[in-house]
Structure 1
């Protein structure tokens, strides 16, 4: 009846024992399977996330993301987005915790740190979308934003494509310059380049920035490869977007969670007449289930509008729990009170 706890020590053990590549591969594989089932309507779509904005002492949001499949348990992630964390507190921009509940009783089964897992599943989801919409022979990756997400975006893409060159840009020059050291394990050369050069030369681009609400696009409109695929990762608030509307209007757009993307993703720029007119294409789950719909667009501009939703976290947590069981890691704690009499809350004490 105890709750399984998976924290820093356990996740470090998983990473060092299983290895980054094998862990990423397992999550990519599980997401592909789970999203395909979603597109086939064999799984439920997670509700759109909810939360509140924080203004003081630092700006940011705290959100909760629930997922429930009958017979598969309930996963709820709480996630905080705080762009000032690295500068002010030496903490990641995104902090999260995952909880797994029994679907019949509501009992808390697992409590796990979600920081590494969130970065992994976000990169893995981009790899899934890119494998559908980008040319398989893509060799040049562009990264706009060189924070923590850039590491797992690039890692996942190198597991899926024959990446030979990486172009990176960040408004903080030290972040862009430091990405090569953080991704040295991939053995891929990285060059700092301005956004217009990245747009013109890349086969695949991932944008993962902390741009503010109402700020200009982080990627310009201009010349690009006809087959360019973009993973737009950073839009997660109403009014916060990364791509020029003109670029979106020319693209085939695949949202991960259509309702959520229209509210706070890149798709919010195409709400109303544009959305009704079909500018926004099938969801990622639908493309996974019916891949021919994706393959038909590989020679044109495509955009994956990634806002992140709880099924992805549910599936990634499944992978973590399987590996934790294989390795025998994780501590247990009696977190929930269990009264001797289910009708008497005071009966936890025999006094």
Structure 2
């Protein structure tokens, strides 16, 4: 089953973006609640990091449901894309395989799905860790991820005010319109300096493309004692968005501990200072009720399990709606011992078809 961007668009329009996001947040919460490493194997992502012709990376993110399916996302991160190529910073595809045969079951556009699942993960963490009554959200970085992040947060909290900042004035100038199209987020939007933003926000999201060695993106001054931060932009060794002092006094929750220690905010901390992870946060959420009155950080580096969950959601909708294209990519025929058989049998079929046409 191939789901193109047109198929994903049809699914989103049919279900509605709010419903789709609600379904994904609920599915992801349930999947994490039921997560068992004996039944689900999630590997830390790996790939290529390069500087020619532009700074970027290409990575693969695998997860396997033992005895069932394996999902692999290949994702590219290229910060120059929007200005140089007119493309999103993040481009990806997600594939799904039957582990009993190795057969490719599904191939889906991963660019839209990555934005959704990353935002849904932040919403899952925020629902547990944000102080009750939080209504002011601060956004540092106003690119594509910021739109879906704010949308997801609006599904789990009542937002009255959105404070935002981006170092690119053109990107900042369009953020309110992009984030509120269709009434998705009904709130007051105010562009402001980072110092005022971080001192006023109950929930803070950092979704920047800050370069290696140029972080943090704000100073640790006058933050609210209960601030919850979703740190989304760190994805390289040496790249981080948050001041270390904030991490040192906060409850820090990585999505994937091993990955976050290598390329997330957690690379700034010793291993014994990382308090928990997303699985423990959800499976033992009662333990963390008292944390809502203290500062907390969700270190979101992008967990492959999230890709598996969002792909299954879209495949379910595709089957229900009858969208998508069934295609045969792998060469397999009646004789599994002959790799050339599909060529010979295909030629025979063509000859037979032509002879039938002549006789008719």
In which range does the TM-score fall when normalised by the shorter chain? Answer: over 0.9
Quick check: 2:226–2:294 contact (8 Å CA) kept in 1? Answer: yes
Q: Distance in 2 between matches of 1:167 and 1:26?
A: 27
Q: 1:331 aligns with which of 325, 336, 339?
A: 325
| Residue of structure 1 equivalent to 2:126 | 130
Offset from partner CA, 1:93-130 (integer Å, 9 cap, x none): 00000000001101001011001100000000000000
Q: Distance in 2 between matches of 1:143 and 1:72?
A: 39
Q: Distance in 1 between matches of 2:39 and 2:123?
A: 21
Displacement, 1:340?
3.0
Q: Larger % of helix: which?
A: 2
Offset from partner CA, 1:8-49 (integer Å, 9 cap, x none): 1101101111110000001000110111112x6575251100
Change (3 A) 1:305 1:22: same
Quick check: 2:165–2:172 contact (8 Å CA) kept in 1? Answer: yes
| Residue of structure 1 equivalent to 2:257 | 258
Displacement, 1:57?
1.4
* 4+ residue segments displaced more than 3 Å: 40-43
> Residues 283-302 of structure 1 correspond to what in structure 2 (within 5 A)?
283-302=277-296
> Residues 89-108 of structure 1 correspond to what in structure 2 (within 5 A)?
89-108=85-104
Offset from partner CA, 1:140-189 (integer Å, 9 cap, x none): 00001000000010000000001110000111011112111101222222
Quick check: 1:37–1:43 contact (8 Å CA) kept in 2? Answer: no
SS of the residue corresponding to residue 49 of structure 2 reads strand
Q: 2:52 aligns with which of 44, 51, 56?
A: 56
Q: 1:16 aligns with which of 5, 13, 17?
A: 13
| Residue of structure 2 equivalent to 1:207 | 206
Quick check: 1:25–1:159 contact (8 Å CA) kept in 2? Answer: yes
- Per chain length, whose mean CA-contact separation is higher, i.e. which structure has more relative contact order (CA < 8 Å, sep 6+)? 1
Larger Rg: 2
TM-score by length of 1: 0.95
Displacement, 1:136?
3.0
Quick check: 2:145–2:207 contact (8 Å CA) kept in 1? Answer: yes
SS of the residue corresponding to residue 112 of structure 1 reads strand
SS of the residue corresponding to residue 167 of structure 1 reads strand
Change (3 A) 1:41 1:108: closer
| Residue of structure 2 equivalent to 1:183 | 179
2:46 paired with 1:47? no
Q: Which runs of 5 or more structure 1 residues have no equivalent in the other structure?
A: none
Quick check: 1:27–1:121 contact (8 Å CA) kept in 2? Answer: yes
Q: 1:68 aligns with which of 55, 64, 67?
A: 64
Q: Which runs of 5 or more structure 2 residues have no equivalent in the other structure?
A: 348-360
Change (3 A) 1:342 1:45: closer
Displacement, 1:137?
1.4
SS of the residue corresponding to residue 94 of structure 2 reads strand
Quick check: 1:139–1:162 contact (8 Å CA) kept in 2? Answer: yes
Please report the RMSD computed on the Cα atoms of aligned residues, expressed in angstroms.
Answer: 1.2
Q: How many residues align?
A: 342
TM-score by length of 2: 0.93
> Residues 114-153 of structure 1 correspond to what in structure 2 (within 5 A)?
114-153=110-149
| Residue of structure 1 equivalent to 2:32 | 35
Quick check: 2:215–2:239 contact (8 Å CA) kept in 1? Answer: no
Change (3 A) 1:170 1:331: same
